[in-house]
Structure 1
Amino acid sequence: MTEILFILTTIYVAYVVYSIINGQKTSLASPKPEIQIQAEVKQAKPEIIVERKERPVTIRKNAVKAPVVTEKPVVAAKGSVRDPITGEVATVTANYRFTKRWIKEALVTEGLLDKVYKNNELDAAAETAIKTALVAFMEMGKYRA
């Protein structure tokens, strides 16, 4: 086994020595002056002309447009409201998702909102309408705590 390893190592070393010597002969046999190298580099680089073409604007069907806000957004302040039927007092927060169900239904019965929104139906326009409705709801006399 060691004899085979010795033979393979000797062949590999001979190959490396041969490639080094052969590589030096080709580089020493034809030295090129710098002027000739620069001329070859200039010839190898062709001029590239780039023309810019304007791409047509494409509109995606499912593109979501950002709402344009012209007014300062309404901020619903924290406050407490009282249910006139049960007498329960609840806190109104700025987040509609955490608002109690009876408050959502009261917003619809008072005409401040069109419907009770689900969480996946909430977008920027709906949230603005909801915040405005919540501010008006807290100011109503029959719901004040």
Structure 2
Amino acid sequence: MYRRTCMKHFWIVASIVVPLALGHSAMAETADPNAVPVAQDSEFIAAGKSYNVDFGDQKFRLDFKSAHEMVFTSPDGKNTANVDITTTPIGDGIYMIYWSRRAGQHVIHVDDFKRGIAYTNIILPDGSASRRRGTLAEVK
């Protein structure tokens, strides 16, 4: 009985002390079990690679510098931007990728790099949305 009580107290103390010892980020992770993971370069399949995306009326080249930075360019080269991205792994070779292009314009992709399928949701400043499905081909 005494041993069981000691073990119970040990686990109570450990559950308080360990997060404090690990720092604030560990507490934040344990505080929100629904937090969305963010991919690091080593786990982002497209890091360091380039892809052509074709949504029919919209075509772009996406150059993934890392899991946190991307350059997109229109086929004519006139529309180019270096953007900060957030990548979230959601399946085998499938990532949700988010970026803001300009004030009030937000882009969310779900890209399946293994099957070559891209989905985009572009929210424009006026609140309207453009949603497309297209192809995703690695530039070799």
TM-score under structure 1 normalisation? 0.23
Larger helix fraction of residues: 1
TM-score under structure 2 normalisation? 0.24
Q: Which has the larger radius of gyration?
A: 1
